[in-house]
Structure 1
């Protein structure tokens, strides 16, 4: 049967690109269908701020007219500027159990990037590492949380068989955030000293001032994450979009800033897992999806700790321990008694040790791949 790889060029092909995972994974109990409307907006050059500083091309694989796979190729110019490299990325990888189609899709993405002067391809990521990133290689039996991809086990051998090499693993740690007995006592002491000895105070963000609070978060992020392998600073356009996104899931219990002498020195954002609601919505707002969304507080009982960091010059203060303990306090005070922390780079020794100190365990592992072009 003939195989064809072609760049997406029409509204119909965009729809086919979006629909493929619904067909591939509809019988998988762990897969959670995203909202189709949100996916259309995310891929829109008009609505996604990625396209203010990056470019991308989408591809579909067909066998005798039937869509059997998809992929994106993208260039994130701020990433190249920060790291002084010429890398390109790929993402949105979905395919049937078809080695030929997998290799052809990855070759198409690589060819597009090579033609634009890229010398290395990494991924998957949709479109950046702060969106859905990595290929699931451990934890197939667990539901994905918000902004976590889920792929079936056959994806890994297909990707590796197509010539992709491991670049980095991303770890997700499960935490019983209502169970303080699992926390090593030193964290409580450090959290107390952060306030009494170093004058650090944790305050909650508010919905009314969320956009301004995200400026403070970005200041922390652009310092605390600057040495990370994947780092890209947040732009104003990124923060505008992030504020709109967070408004849909905002809960002041879980959005925190650590301050010292009026300066934001640390931040933690734990997002209530809207995937528990999306499962009931089945990819659509109508006819009853909106009703499940409005009742989300009755459904959600877990969070994803997506960001927790402290500026390097203030890491001696114990602010990180203070943010950790505040998350445990919120776990005891709300319905959300557990969650997952991450992803965390496998090379981030300090954060991984911190997860161990809080009684965490690795429950999912995502792999980012690379290929020299």
Structure 2
């Protein structure tokens, strides 16, 4: 077996395409667009690398790739939390403990050389991106930016000395389940404007830069105390919005405002995985035609972020945003979907999901190992 860093364009192509072979017999896995993955992994284009460094590694047997991993250090994450975490991500491997162990050990050495005291992952690259190993919910298809990983991955990691750090939960909600919602949710939503002067509005795509500056401000205030939180800059938020403009639907991106200032926000997107499943990782030569056709058939959404500034969390803003989601589900082809991930330790949000009649359908696990 040979371990080698990714250096050439050919190496990177092998790194990107390995999962296509590993999951070729798994109908629920969704291949990402190869072009998007190349851009995301490009150190000169991804703004992550303005505050981070990374190494990409491949494991091969007789010239055939059998596994891959990234090791990365996010200086912004460590500065914010005053820690020395090292991260690993993009972990994919055959059911081969020797290969998995070698990949992880090499990543650990790389991290230790840079002063890290633990290895944590998988996150590809941060907790704002795809993260975790799927430990429950393999019977469900993944929604946009959700990994679907092999059932044997927990064993590979645990036998390499890794233990659970925390679990991330995905909750399912459907408009047909409205009668399961506790009445207090809609009562709080109805009081939001008359009692607190707070209104709900939708995304203005003509002012995308301004909107995502406002979103970043709410995000950083609402999530700052969360485990693994990484502050989001205006530049990163705007770049992400522009690169994913086709995913943004004004029906589903919402702001709660008081006196014209945002106090809460929800970033919900249609489940574009339903389109990606048809493309096989390629837009050219005719994949874009398929994308245009299939996007009209998307029937689910993912509520990726929903948060409220701490000083307004007692006013029912979250209830107002939840209620607006039910209204949109009643009016659009998307009749439900999933919310999260939500930390298993976030008692308030998990209770809110229970109050909304939600059900936990997927559980992702973050692993850690002391170096």
In the aligned structure 1, how far is the partner of 2:282 from the partner of 2:163?
A: 37
Q: Which runs of 5+ in 1 are unaligned?
A: none
Residue equivalent to 1:28: 26
Q: Which runs of 5+ in 2 are unaligned?
A: none
| 2:76 matches 1:78 | yes
What CA deviation, in whole Å up to 9, does each residue of 1:157-200 have, x standing for no partner? 11111111100000000001354212110001111111110011
> Normalized against structure 1, the TM-score is what?
0.98
**Superposed, which structure 2 residues align to 1:345-364 within 5 Å?**
345-364=343-362
Kept in 1: contact 2:213–2:238 (CA 8 A): no
In the aligned structure 2, how far is the partner of 1:241 from the partner of 1:87?
A: 26
Residue equivalent to 1:11: 9
Residue equivalent to 1:112: 110
SS at match of 1:42: helix
Kept in 1: contact 2:51–2:76 (CA 8 A): yes
For residue 155 of structure 1, report the CA deviation from its aligned partner: 1.1
How many pairs were matched up? 371
What CA deviation, in whole Å up to 9, does each residue of 1:42-68 have, x standing for no partner? 110121111111110000011122111
In the aligned structure 2, how far is the partner of 1:236 from the partner of 1:326?
A: 26
Residue equivalent to 2:193: 195
Kept in 2: contact 1:271–1:304 (CA 8 A): yes
Kept in 2: contact 1:178–1:329 (CA 8 A): no
Aligned partner of 1:44 among 42, 49, 53: 42
Aligned partner of 2:204 among 199, 203, 206: 206
For residue 108 of structure 1, report the CA deviation from its aligned partner: 0.7
What CA deviation, in whole Å up to 9, does each residue of 1:235-281 have, x standing for no partner? 13311321113312111000000001221100001110000000111
In the aligned structure 2, how far is the partner of 1:365 from the partner of 1:90?
A: 19
Aligned partner of 2:215 among 214, 217, 230: 217
**Superposed, which structure 2 residues align to 1:1-373 within 5 Å?**
3-373=1-371
Q: CA RMSD in A?
A: 1.0
Kept in 2: contact 1:178–1:328 (CA 8 A): no
